Amino acid sequence: MQSHTPVVEFNFARQGEIFEQELQIIRRFAAWVDTLGPLDQAGPEVRLQVLAAVRSLARVFKGSGEKASMQDYGRRVLHHAPGSWSLAVITLQPGQKTEPHDHSGWGCAATVQGIERNRRFVRGSRGSLYLISERDYLPGNGYYFHENEIHQPEGADPRQLTVALHFLTEAPAGSQSQAEAGRE
């Protein structure tokens, strides 16, 4: 169990009304995650349990009210427990990609609507990125990634907006991602 009570932020400021059922589901999910203890120390079993829970959320979450910019992908935080974890809705137009990036903590993602393509990379000795895998995730399916793993989500459904839930843990203070370490 965590020794502190996280500050919880629920952000439902979007066009239209969010269903009360979704709000209750997110609150139950947050309460459950907060029982898992320090997430930066979570082993594979806990990580897979979180992925299964995020996949379940994706099956009941309604993505139809989400919007995305044509210039950049969208990110709307649903919950943030500072120093521990966050859950956000990510939106990608058809063919739209994030920049390849890593995170200082582990995380997972599950598709709500459309198809999210996850592209994984390794950094070569001279700093170049090399694509090592690419996989598409249909609604209700998802993936998890390790801390410092370089990846790139892409909206792979040519007919509609891709909406996904992304869960991220926060690394302990003083940790760095590969991108941050490479800038020193």
pLDDT at 4: 30
Handedness of CA 169, 28, 141, 159 (dihedral sign): negative
Instruction: Return the pLDDT at 69.
Output: 65
Terminal CA-to-CA distance of the chain, rounded, Å? Answer: 35
- Residue 83 within any structural domain of the chain: yes
How do strand 9-10 and strand 74-81 relate by DSSP bridges? Answer: antiparallel
For residue 64, being part of any structural domain is answered with yes
Task: Round to whole Å and give the CA distance between 171 and 167.
Answer: 13
Q: Is residue 98 part of a domain?
A: yes
Within a domain: 2:
no
Please check the confidence at residue 2 and state whether its pLDDT lies above 60.
no
Q: Give the integer Cα–Cα distance in Å for 117 and 135.
A: 5
> Each residue of 116-173: pLDDT tens digit?
999 999 999 999 999 999 999 999 999 999 998 999 999 999 999 999 999 999 976 6
Question: For position 65, what pLDDT does the model report?
Answer: 67
Measured distance CA(51)–CA(55) in Å, rounded: 6
Give 70-97 pLDDT, tens digit per residue.
677 888 899 999 999 999 999 999 999 9
Provide the pLDDT for residue 64: 62
Domain assignment present for residue 177? The answer is no
Helix 44-60 and helix 20-33, axial crossing angle in degrees, nearest 10 = 180
What is the CATH classification number for the domain harbouring 106?
2.60.120.10
Domain count, the chain: 1
- Residues contacting 93, CB < 8 A, separation 6+: 68, 69, 70, 73, 155, 161, 162
Domain annotation covers residue 156: yes
Give the torsion through C-alpha atoms of 167, 77, 110, 23, to 10 deg.
110
Mean pLDDT (whole number) for 32-42: 93
Tell me if 103 sits within 8 A of 181, measured CB to CB.
no
Report whether pLDDT(47) > 90. yes
Residue 114 gets the label, from left (phi > 0), alpha (psi -120 to 50) or beta, of left
Q: Percentage of the chain with pLDDT > 70?
A: 78
Average pLDDT over residues 95-108: 94
Q: Does the residue 51 lie in any domain?
A: yes
In a domain, 12, yes or no: no
Give the three-state DSSP class for 181. Answer: helix
71 is in which domain, residue-wise? 20-172
